[in-house]
A and B are shown apart, each in its own frame.
Chain A
Amino acid sequence: MTQTPPSSRGPATDGPLADSLLKFGRFLRPGEFSPDLRTVTLEGGRQGDVFYRDRWSHDKVVRSTHGVNCTGSCSWKVYVKDGIITWETQETDYPSVGPDSPEYEPRGCPRGAAFSWYTYSPTRVRYPYLRGVLLEHYRAAKARVGGDPVLAWEALVTDPVASRAYKRARGKGGLVRASWDETLEIVAAAHVHTIKAHGPDRVAGFSPIPAMSMVSHGVGARFINLIGGTMQSFYDWYADLPVASPQVFGDQTDVPESADWWNSTYLMMWGSNVPVTRTPDAHFMTEARYRGQKVITVSPDYADNTKFADEWLSPHPGTDAALAMAMGHVILSEFLVERRVPRFEHYLKTYSDAPYLVSLDEREASDGRRTYVPGKFVTAADLGGAEAAVDNAAFKTVLLGRDGSVVVPNGALGHRFGDADEGKWNLDLEGVDPQLSIRDGAAWGGEVAELELPRFDVAPEAGAEHEGGSGVVRRGVPVARVAGRLVTTVFDLLLAQYGVAREGLPGEWPTSYADASTPGTPGWQEEITGVPAEQAERIGREFADNAERSGGRSMILMGAGTNHWFHSDTIYRTFLALTTMTGCQGVNGGGWAHYVGQEKVRPVTGYSQYGTASDWSRPGRQMIGTAFWYLATDQWRYDGLPADQLASPLAEGLFAGRTTADCLVESAKRGWMPSFPTFDRNPLDLVDDARAAGKEPAEYVVDSLNDGSLRYACEDPDSPENFPRVLNVWRANILGSSGKGNEYFLKHLLGTDSSVRAAEAPPERRPESIDWHDDAPEGKLDLLVTADFRMTSTTLFSDVVLPAATWYEKHDLSSTDMHPFVHSFNPAIAPPWQTKTDFEIFHLIAKRFSEYARTHLGTRSDLVAAPLMHDTPDAMATPHGTVENDLPLVPGVTMPKLVVVERDYTAIADKLATLGPLAVKAGMVTKGIVFDPTPEVAELGRLNGVATAGAGAGQPLLDTDVKVCEAILALSGTTNGRLSVQGFRQLEKRTGQRIAQLAEDHEGGRIRFADVQARPVSVITSPEWSGSEHGGRRYTAFAINVEHLKPWHTLTGRQHFFLDHDWMRELGENLPIYRPPLDLARLFGDSPVVGSTAPSGDPAASGHAEVAVRYLTPHSKWSIHSEYQDNLFMLSLSRGGPTIWMSTQDAEKIGVRDNEWIESYNRNGVVVARAIVSHRMPEGTVYMYHAKDRTVDVPRTETSGQRGGIHNSLTRVLLKPSHLIGGYAQLAFAFNYLGPTGNQRDEVTVIRRRSQEVEY
Chain B
Amino acid sequence: MKVMAQMSMVMNLDKCIGCHTCSVTCKQAWTNRSGVEYVWFNNVETRPGIGYPRRYEDQEKWGGGWVRTKSGRLKLRSGGRLKKLATIFSNPKLPEIHDYYEPWTYEYDMLLNAPAGEHTPVAKPKSLLTGEDMKISWSANWDDNLGGSAETMADDPILQHMSEHVASEYEQTYMFYLPRICEHCLNPSCVASCPSGAMYKRVEDGIVLVDQDQCRGWRMCVSGCPYKKVYFNHKTGKAEKCTLCYPRLEVGLPTVCSETCVGRLRYLGLVLYDADKVAEAASIEDEHALLDAQRSVFLDPHDPAVVQAAREAGIPEDWIDAAQRSPIHKLINEYKVALPLHPEYRTMPMVWYIPPLSPVVDVVASSGNDGEDAKTLFAAIAKLRIPLEYLAGLFTAGDTRPVEASLRKLAAMRSYMRGINLGEGKDERIADAVGMTGDTLEEMYRLLAIAKYEERY
Contacts and interface: CB of A to CB of B under 8 A. Distances in A.
Interface stretch (A42-50, A761-769, A1036-1044, A1077-1085): A42-50
B365 A286 contact: no
A292 interface: yes
B73 A11 contact: yes
B209 A1155 contact: no
Given A55-B30, A549-B422, A1132 B140 contact: yes
Contacts of A88: 25, 28
Nearest to B187: A38
Interface in A1122-1146: 1126, 1128-1129, 1131-1137, 1141, 1143-1144
Interface string B346-370: 0000000000111110100111111
Interface size class of B (residues with CB under 8 A): 35 or more
A1135 B144 CA distance: 9
A107 B192 contact: no
A92 B73 CA distance: 48
A29 B360 CA distance: 55
Contacts of A10: 279-280
Interface stretch (A165-173, A636-644, A689-697): A165-173
19 contacts: A13-B73, A14-B75, A18-B80, A41-B203, A42-B211, A55-B247, A102-B449, A106-B259, A122-B109, A175-B114, A282-B19, A292-B416, A312-B365, A542-B377, A550-B421, A1134-B139, A1136-B136, A1137-B136, A1174-B150
Contact of B117 (A51, A99, A172): A172
A624 interface: no
Given A538-B368, A1141-B147, A1194-B122, A56 B259 contact: no
B175 A31 contact: no
Contact of B213 (A32, A48, A287, A1179): A48
A590 to B, nearest CB: 13
Contacts of A347: none
Nearest to B44: A1133
B125 A1136 contact: yes
A89 B356 contact: no
Nearest to B238: A48
A532 B32 CA distance: 49
Q: Which 4 A-B pairs have the closest CB atoms?
A: A292-B418, A174-B116, A534-B368, A173-B114
Interface in A1061-1111: none
B263 A172 contact: no
Given A38-B192, A56-B247, A11 B81 contact: no
Interface string A360-380: 000000000000000000000
B145 A535 contact: no
B294 interface: no
A171 B112 CA distance: 11
Contacts of B34: none
A171 B204 CA distance: 60
Nearest to B248: A56
A1126 B279 CA distance: 49
A535 B365 contact: yes
Contacts of A994: none
Contacts of A99: 450
Given A1175-B149, A1202-B120, 15 more contacts: A45-B211, A56-B29, A106-B261, A172-B116, A287-B15, A290-B410, A290-B449, A297-B359, A791-B112, A795-B111, A1129-B28, A1133-B24, A1133-B144, A1134-B141, A1144-B149
B94 interface: no
Interface in A75-134: 86-90, 92, 99-103, 105-110, 113-114, 116, 121-123, 125, 129, 132-133
B279 to A, nearest CB: 4
Interface residues of A, number: 144
Contacts of A105: 453
A440 to B, nearest CB: 30
Looking at B74, B197, B367, B451, which has the most chain A CB atoms within 10 Å of its CB? Answer: B197
Nearest to A531: B366
B14 to A, nearest CB: 7
Interface stretch (A299-307, A714-722, A1228-1236, A1239-1247): A299-307
Nearest to A22: B81
Interface in A875-900: none
Given A310-B378, A532-B365, A290 B417 contact: yes
B394 interface: no
Contacts of B14: 286
Interface string B324-360: 0000000000000000000000000000000011111
A495 B14 CA distance: 41
A17 interface: yes
Contacts of A431: none
Contacts of A133: 116
B302 interface: no
A830 interface: no
Contact of B260 (A90, A129, A292, A1203): A90
Interface in B99-149: 101, 103-106, 108-109, 111-125, 136-137, 139-142, 144-149
Interface stretch (B165-173, B303-311, B400-408, B431-439): B165-173
Given A532-B366, A534-B368, A90 B259 contact: yes
Contacts of B17: 274-275, 279, 282-283, 286, 304
Contacts of A483: none
A123 B123 contact: yes
Contact of B123 (A17, A100, A110, A1191): A1191
A29 to B, nearest CB: 4
Contacts of A1117: 19, 144-145
B366 A100 contact: no
A113 B257 CA distance: 11
A1147 interface: yes
B201 interface: yes
Nearest to A309: B359
A290 B422 CA distance: 13
Contacts of B4: 41
Given A17-B82, A122-B108, A549-B422, A171 B120 contact: yes
B15 A1132 contact: no
Interface string A299-324: 00010101111111100000000000
A1166 interface: no
Contact of A287 (B23, B199, B245, B450): B450
A42 B112 CA distance: 52
Contacts of B116: 132-133, 169, 172-174
Nearest to B185: A39
B335 to A, nearest CB: 13
A52 B246 contact: yes
Given A106-B259, A1135-B136, A1193-B124, A38 B279 contact: yes
Contact of A40 (B108, B201, B259): B201
Contact of A39 (B118, B192, B365, B422): B192
A413 to B, nearest CB: 38
A1192 interface: yes
Contact of A102 (B103, B141, B200, B450): B450
Contacts of B261: 106
Contacts of B118: 172
A1256 interface: yes
A1101 B49 CA distance: 34
Contact of A174 (B106, B117, B359): B117
A949 interface: no
Contact of A11 (B72, B214, B367, B424): B72
Interface in B76-111: 76, 80-82, 85, 101, 103-106, 108-109, 111
A529 to B, nearest CB: 13
Contact of A304 (B76, B122, B145, B188): B145
Nearest to B171: A314
A1220 B18 CA distance: 41
A287 B262 CA distance: 12
A110 B452 contact: no
Given A122-B108, A290-B414, A1175 B29 contact: no
